[in-house]
């Protein structure tokens, strides 16, 4: 059985205080989401340390296992003179320091950042991240012990020209085909048509199902039966009013949510759509 995931991509939004408030609002409602749905909060780098502590402090045990935190990017280098970059290893180890903050109670424990988003179309488009760079990032993230939410998706002109299968197929093959089956188990794929991101235009559930099935088939061609266990998320103007219809499709295993993840009640309502 593959894991159902609703992940929030906060992008470059919220100050730390706002981010903490948002996380606390979501955590307060964890008991209201189905037991088999897992939430991931992908915050800006600056928020990961306090979120590691806040999620680590969740007392209700059934709730603690329902939520993880994630980063939105990592460097394609291990360490060194790369001003402004943050490595996968830095992200994967930051929880180790939570108990060392001055004044922290002795049993203070942070949770590990578990996920990192790689290949979001905003990174590909605005920062020139090619499939080759994304493969480097993916390998470093996996070897640091992070799970990867790997994003793929076509532009409107590419869909109109009937090229969306070629584009998405190439994004899958040039990165995921380079991984071992063991590494592949730690990959979540997110299909995000660029024309639907932040635009209010959602792919219809038929359009989304068609390409999700194609993604699973493409993974199956390389990895066989493992493809059935890979979680494939839909992203692009997913909101409480359309989540149920999208999530009812057989190959849609949840969502990567941008705008609607910034309101706790909307994010929870999406998670309740299963």
Q: Which positions lie near ligand PGA, rule CB under 6 A?
A: 9, 192, 197-198, 235-238, 256-260
The active-site residue out of 47, 136, 192, 212 is: 192
Q: Please say which residue, 105 or 200, places its beta carbon nearer to ligand PGA.
A: 200
Closest residue by Cα to residue 8 from 71, 94, 89:
71
Give the N- to C-terminal CA distance of the chain in Å, as an integer: 15
Least distance to ligand PGA, CB of residue 171, Å:
15
Q: Please say which residue, 192 or 253, places its beta carbon nearer to ligand PGA.
A: 192
Cα Dmax for the chain: 60
Closest residue by Cα to residue 261 from 3, 4, 11:
11
Residue nearest to ligand PGA (CB): 258
Q: What is the DSSP letter of 228?
A: G
Q: Please say which residue, 66 or 239, places its beta carbon nearer to ligand PGA.
A: 239
Q: Please say which residue, 110 or 258, places its beta carbon nearer to ligand PGA.
A: 258
220 in active site: no
Q: What is the DSSP letter of 110?
A: P
Distance CA 56, CA 64 (A): 8
Q: What is the DSSP letter of 27?
A: H
Least distance to ligand PGA, CB of residue 233, Å:
9
Q: Please say which residue, 121 or 158, places its beta carbon nearer to ligand PGA.
A: 121
Least distance to ligand PGA, CB of residue 234, Å:
9
Closest residue by Cα to residue 233 from 219, 214, 246:
246
Least distance to ligand PGA, CB of residue 257, Å:
5
164 in active site: no
Q: How far is CA 246 from the centre of its chain?
A: 17
- Taking the CB of residue 128, how many other CB atoms lie within 10 A of it? 8
Q: What is the DSSP letter of 112?
A: P
The active-site residue out of 38, 120, 164, 212 is: 120
The C-alpha angle 122, 261, 249, rounded to 5 degrees, equals 85
- For residue 126, what are the contacts with CB-CB under 8 A and spacing of at least 6? none
Beta bridge partners of 147: 115
| Dihedral sign, Cα of residue 136, residue 186, residue 2, residue 56 | negative
Least distance to ligand PGA, CB of residue 63, Å:
25
H/E element, 219: helix 205-223
Least distance to ligand PGA, CB of residue 180, Å:
27
Q: Please say which residue, 99 or 240, places its beta carbon nearer to ligand PGA.
A: 240
Active site residues: 120, 192
């Amino acid at each position: 059985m593959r894991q159902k995931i609703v992940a929030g991509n906060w992008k470059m939004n919220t100050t730390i205080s706002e981010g903490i408030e948002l996380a606390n609002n979501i955590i307060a409602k964890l008991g209201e989401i189905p037991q088999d749905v897992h939430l991931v909060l992908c915050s800006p780098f600056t928020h990961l340390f306090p979120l590691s502590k806040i999620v680590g402090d969740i007392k209700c045990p059934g709730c603690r296992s329902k939520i993880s935190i994630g980063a939105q990017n990592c460097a394609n280098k291990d360490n060194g003179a790369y001003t402004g970059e943050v490595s996968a290893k830095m992200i994967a180890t930051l929880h180790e320091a939570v108990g060392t903050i001055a004044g922290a109670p002795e049993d203070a424990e942070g949770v590990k950042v578990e996920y990192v988003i790689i290949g979001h179309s905003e990174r590909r488009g605005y920062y020139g991240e090619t499939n080759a760079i994304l493969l480097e990032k993916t390998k470093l993230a996996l070897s640091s012990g992070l799970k990867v939410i790997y994003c793929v998706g076509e532009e409107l002109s590419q869909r109109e020209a009937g090229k969306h299968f070629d584009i998405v197929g190439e994004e899958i093959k040039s990165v995921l085909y380079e991984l071992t089956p063991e590494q592949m188990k730690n990959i979540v794929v997110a299909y995000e048509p660029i024309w639907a991101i932040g635009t209010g235009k959602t792919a219809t559930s038929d359009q989304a199902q068609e390409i999700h099935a194609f993604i699973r088939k493409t993974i199956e061609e390389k990895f066989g039966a493992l493809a059935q266990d890979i979680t494939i998320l839909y992203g692009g103007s997913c909101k409480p009013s359309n989540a149920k219809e999208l999530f009812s499709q057989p190959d849609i295993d949840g969502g990567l949510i941008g705008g609607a993840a910034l309101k706790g009640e909307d994010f929870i309502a999406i998670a309740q759509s299963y």
